Amino acid sequence: MPLNANAVRVAVTGAAYVAAPKSKLPTDATAPWDAAFTDIGWISDDGITEANSADTTEIKGWQGGATVRKVISSSEMSFSFTAIETSKTVLELYHKGAKVATTTGKSVLAIKAPGPDRRTFGFDVIDGNSHIRIVVPDGEVTETGDITYKGDEAVSYELTVTAYPGPDGTVAIKYSDDPAWGTTPAP
């Protein structure tokens, strides 16, 4: 199989977005996001990590105890990133269920015990003219990291978004205008 260096991608830049549940979803890799989506802001140089995991159950044959089949018993898709921009959007994502109230230039964040806070998420990954857009129609921040207040680093908010399946089982949708997505290397 011939190698194709032109198909090597680097996630040079991008963005993370959030919107209310059931917001209008994009249908391609480059159209502007609907006004319902808010750009989460600066993300640390670690970028965005997509994780896919599956738990399997092995079925063993009586004859010799060999594994004859594996059944997926559960699966999960998640996206992790660290927001380094402090904003109302980020604070409310990090502190699930909390709302920032601002009057006369002063804000209050009443932190509550976390409860369900499902939303729609989106991620753009860009390498020059190649775009990947990932849409999570039904997701939720399910894990957060510690916040460290230090004089030599940005206050940061580690967030992990878990993607939940829709009625047809779809947990995320990926769009791309990358020509490499549509080509198969010659044999």
pLDDT in tens, 129-162: 999 999 999 999 999 999 999 999 999 999 999 9
pTM of the model: 0.88
| Maximum pairwise Cα distance, the chain | 76
DSSP for 51-76 reads EEEEEEEEEE-TTTT-EEEEEEEEEE
The answer to whether 59 and 68 are in contact (CB under 8 A) is yes
Chain mean position to CA 20: 15
Mapping DSSP to helix (H, G, I), strand (E, B) and coil, where does residue 119 land?
A: strand
pLDDT in tens, 76-133: 999 999 999 999 999 999 999 899 999 999 999 999 898 899 999 999 999 999 999 9
